[in-house]
Structures are given as structure tokens and as C-alpha cells.
Chains A and B, each alone.
Chain A
């Protein structure tokens, strides 16, 4: 088997998009247009990224282009997080800080301890997986903590009224939001290999890598995502506490969803 997908192969795979659109038409879901737009948009975006990546990580290119790419990715991820949860105050700066912290922790371990060689070819995809896979948990942690503090305001203020500092008063709600945000990733990690074959491993096997080698890479990626998720959610939660309470330990007004 040829290990690479040809342009003709790509064109044939569009039959699958046609199948999805066909099902929508058959069941009168009215999603045909959206399916076609989504597929076209994904293809164009991927092609653009492919061209850009070719330029950034081509042999002989300075590693600084890859670092620049990673920085841009972190910034864009922060804007996506902000857009997904506009009700969370200051999420743009907090998400940027959290993704940066996760990058320092995960890339520091993987490249600092030579798990992977530091090249553009390794740096960009690994940073991409780190950011992409911790996005949902990051947004969930921010949203859950904001909701907890708003919905349980009476309880939080009862703790403050007993003389607890804001950070201590918020601790039970920080823990609840971190548990809620981290549990899905832990469950996914548990189910890996049994319930589904993850993307990195599948891609490597399709590209012709030996299955055991693909498994090793995938295991490292799973651990990377676990650490990244734990880091981003913790930074978001602790950062939010500083923003949702005043320096004199008062909980700021948090509008209910209906008031926004």
C-alpha cells in the first residue's frame, strides 16, 4: 500500500462528505449546506496550514519560526476560549496565561529532557496537540467556577463573613470545577486503546510507522495532554479567583445568564 494520500485519493474521500450530506437530505435534517461548508472550510484551512507548516518547518529554516508559530497558536487559542465562554470575566488574558504555562511545563519536559528532539517538525505539532486538547477543559473550568461562585454566592459570602480569606472561601468551588474539567480527560486516557484508537497513533500507523513506535508516541501525547489540561485548568481557576474577588475579600457581582 502507498503510505501517502494522493490528490486523487483526497478527491475520492469527498464521497464521504457527500454521504453525510446525502443522509442529511434523506432524513430532511436541513444540514446539507452546513456539512458542505464545514468540509470545504476544513479543507481550505488544512491546506493553508499545510503550506504554512511546509514553510515553517522545512529543513534549514530557523527554529524561531516554529516558536513564532507556537506563540501565534497560543494567542489564537486564547481568543477562541474567550469566544466560547464570554460570560467568564477576563478569560482572554487568563487563557493566554494558562496555555503559556502549560506550554512551559509540557514542552519543557518533552524537549528539555530530550523525549523528542527539538525541531520545527516536532515542536509545532506537539504544541498544537497540547493546546487543542486542553481547550475544552480550560473553557469548562472557567465556566464552571464562574457558575459555582454565582449560584452559591450565599454560601461563599457566609464563608467570607466568618473571616475566611477569599482564596480559602473559594477553595471548595475551585476543587469542584477542576474535578469537573479534568474528569473527562482522565476517562479518555483510561479508555485509550480499548474503546478507541487516538488520532496521533492512527495517523502514524497510516503513515507507515511501526505500531509499537506509534503507541510510544501516542502514550507520550496522552501524558502531554493530561499535564497540559491539569496546568491550564489550574491556572484558569486560580487566576479567576484573583479576578472574581476584590483585594479586600469581596465577591464581585456576577450577572446571571439571563441578565447578560
Chain B
């Protein structure tokens, strides 16, 4: 198959500067559309910035980011963001119930669709009427994932989504993500936890000193 068809994102000499520093320095790489791609690297390496570029919450100072072959600046950002969902490092519940939160993503979703989204992330649909802010950290993060899934994205960007979770909710989140990847959703997962990278990744990239390079032999078997 054509390599270009397989690529979800392509970075072509992408540079992002912040306060005079090159956070990303002419990054050139291609991220596969299949399975889970983990982007690993130390804190402050620019992993979050790279992910934000994919969702167009930021734009590069130089270079081009392409999604499935199309430069992002040629795509409608609102459409792109529904095709490419993002879950942030810290859970971001909106005021109201879990149902209200899911309705922000898709006001016409209806109870059946919302329940299905909660089921996909191993949350009880009975939580729909519960105040979102009363959920535990792990539940909140999975609710945020469900909220993103309501928009039926092709690709999920996960920005250290389990960094604040204990071992058990972390494991549940990882299992959920693997199941989503198996259902055909492309996942790009940023983490600095190399053990987690080994557990969930189909392939791993290292982001260090502004450069993105494949890390051979570390992905799960």
C-alpha cells in the first residue's frame, strides 16, 4: 500500500518557537494512521505542542502539517477538530451533568448515542444524569474521552491522559484505548511514561531537542 495513504499526519520541516526557543525544530516525520502511535520524550520536549498542531489549536511558525495528505491550513478547522478529537492532560469537565458534557460535543446526540459512548469507555450509562464534577479522576478522564467520541472522530490525540491517574484507572484507560484502536480509530498518544509506551504502542517516536525520531524495538509485541 502507498505509504502516503497510511500516514495520518505528516510533518514537513515544522518549527515552533516560543520565547526565542525552538520548541520544535524542523520536525520532519510521518505518523501512521494504523493503531496507536506513542510520542515519548522528556518533559518540555514539545510533545504537547506537536499534538496541538495536529488539532490546529496552534499553528507552526514554519513548515507544514498534513492530515491524510491535506495541509491543515487548507482544511476547515472546525471540521478537522471533529475528525481529529483531542483529550487533554487534565480532565476538563464543563458545568452540569455527564449528559450535559456530552451534549456540548453533539447537542442532538440523544440518550442512546450518549450511552453507547459511555459504554465504549467502560463507564456506566447511568452516570449520564450525574454531576460531572462529582466523578473520580479516572471516570472524569474517560468521560472526556466519551465526549470526544460522540463527535465520531477518525483520529484521537491523547495528551498524557493518565498522568494524574492511579494504577487501576490507568489500566482501564489503556485497555479502552486499545479497544478503540482495534475498532479502527487512529490514536496518537503522548506520554513520558516509557512503561506505558511499551504497553500500548504499536510504534514509538522519541521527541528530543525539538527533533522527532522513530524509537526502534520498544513497542509492544
Contacts and interface: CB of A to CB of B under 8 A. Distances in A.
Interface of A: 154-155, 157-165, 172, 248-251
Interface string B80-111: 01100110101010110000000011000000
Contacts of B88: 154, 157-158, 161
Given A159-B104, A250-B57, A165 B85 contact: no
A41 to B, nearest CB: 43
Given A154-B88, A155-B92, A164 B104 contact: yes
Interface stretch (B143-151, B163-171, B177-185, B186-194): B143-151
11 contacts: A157-B57, A158-B92, A158-B94, A161-B85, A161-B88, A162-B81, A162-B105, A163-B79, A248-B73, A248-B77, A249-B77
B9 to A, nearest CB: 16
A162 B104 contact: yes
Nearest to A251: B57
Contacts of B79: 163
A158 B89 CA distance: 11
Contacts of A248: 56, 59, 73, 77
B162 interface: no
Contacts of B124: none
Given A154-B90, A172-B95, A250-B57, A161 B78 contact: no
B81 A163 contact: yes
Interface of B: 55-59, 73, 77-79, 81-82, 85-86, 88, 90, 92, 94-95, 104-105, 144, 147-148, 151
B50 to A, nearest CB: 15
Nearest to B52: A157
A159 B94 contact: yes
Contacts of B85: 161-162
A1 to B, nearest CB: 58
B147 A162 contact: yes
Nearest to A152: B92
Contact of A155 (B57, B77, B86, B94): B94
B19 to A, nearest CB: 11
Interface-central residue, B58, B104, B147, by most chain A CB under 10 Å: B104
A1 B95 CA distance: 61
Contact of A165 (B73, B78, B104, B151): B78
B92 A163 contact: no
Contacts of A160: 57, 81
A250 B78 CA distance: 10
A249 B79 CA distance: 12
Nearest to B75: A248
Given A154-B90, A154-B92, A157-B88, A163 B57 contact: no
Contacts of B148: 161-162
A250 B59 contact: yes
Nearest to B58: A250
Contacts of A250: 56-59, 77
A155 B88 CA distance: 10
A121 B147 CA distance: 60
A155 B95 CA distance: 10
A159 B57 CA distance: 11
A163 B78 contact: yes
A92 B203 CA distance: 52
Given A154-B90, A154-B92, A155-B92, A161 B59 contact: no
Interface-central residue, A155, A159, A163, by most chain B CB under 10 Å: A163
